[in-house]
């Protein structure tokens, strides 16, 4: 029982340290929270969790070698870089027309946020490599305790993801009440620049 609890803590610790490192999913979550509502983080992370579930299945299917192949990483880097740059450009050009009073508060964007969470997880080379290296080794250790061990490790990891991105989204949402439209637009432009910059770095690594 103690070992299973330690696996839960291990999964949480690995998850929170990984989640706290700024990356494409962080930028996407913040920019979408600025454009929608406080639940954006919970929706984007659900897409992230779906991708992680697929990767875990691939690992246990013996396909983890694919995740670290040079060709796979190169394709992921190029496609991810282009996607991030396009999002950055669109955010920049649309920011000048956006007003705080126009923010969406309904649930029609839930599907897009989940898909976005999937895309900006799957197209991040660092995310894929992490699971193909650290993820594989920790899953192997957890597997020595059977299905229960694997379950506790993964649940701990996902609790950390939900806690961090949910908190991030709530914090950004409440911060919007102190912004003017001009400040809001400038923040969106700043994040569009960051997204483009990260996209360029992905392309540089992939080409």
Total structural domains within the chain: 1
CA angle 120, 122, 125 (to 5 degrees): 95
Question: CA–CA separation, 44 vs 25, rounded Å?
Answer: 8
Q: What pTM was estimated for this model as a whole? A: 0.78
What are the per-10-residue average pLDDT scores of the chain (207 residues)? 81 82 82 84 92 88 72 76 81 77 54 85 77 80 86 93 92 82 81 81 72
Question: CA–CA separation, 120 vs 145, rounded Å?
Answer: 32
State which residues form the domain around 189: 2-100+107-206
User: Residue 155: helix, strand or coil by DSSP?
Assistant: helix
pLDDT tens digits for range 163-180:
999 999 999 888 877 777
- Terminal-to-terminal C-alpha distance of the chain: 48
pLDDT tens digits for range 151-167:
999 999 999 999 999 99
CA angle 44, 48, 54 (to 5 degrees): 150
Residue with tokens 């190029």: 78
What are the residues whose beta carbons fall under 8 Å from the beta carbon of 163, sequence distance 6 or more? 16
Residue 156 near residue 12, CB atoms below 8 Å: yes
Question: CA–CA separation, 180 vs 156, rounded Å?
Answer: 39
């Amino acid at each position: 029982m103690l070992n299973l609890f330690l696996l839960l803590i291990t999964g949480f610790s690995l998850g929170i340290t990984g989640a706290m490192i700024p990356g494409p999913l962080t930028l996407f979550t913040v920019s979408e929270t600025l454009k929608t509502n406080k639940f954006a983080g919970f929706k984007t992370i659900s897409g992230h969790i779906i991708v992680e579930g697929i990767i875990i299945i691939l690992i246990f299917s013996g396909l983890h070698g694919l995740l670290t192949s040079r060709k796979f990483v190169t394709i992921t880097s190029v496609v991810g870089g282009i996607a991030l740059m396009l999002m950055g450009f669109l955010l920049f050009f649309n920011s000048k027309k956006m007003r705080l009073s126009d923010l969406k508060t309904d649930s029609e964007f839930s599907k897009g946020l989940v898909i976005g969470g999937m895309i900006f997880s799957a197209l991040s080379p660092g995310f894929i490599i992490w699971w193909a290296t650290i993820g594989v080794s920790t899953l192997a250790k957890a597997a020595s305790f059977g299905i229960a061990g694997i379950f506790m490790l993964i649940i701990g990891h996902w609790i950390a993801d939900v806690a961090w991105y949910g908190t991030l989204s709530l914090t950004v949402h409440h911060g919007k009440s102190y912004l003017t439209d001009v400040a809001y637009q400038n923040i969106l432009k700043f994040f569009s620049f960051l997204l483009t910059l990260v996209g360029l770095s992905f392309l540089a690594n992939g080409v």
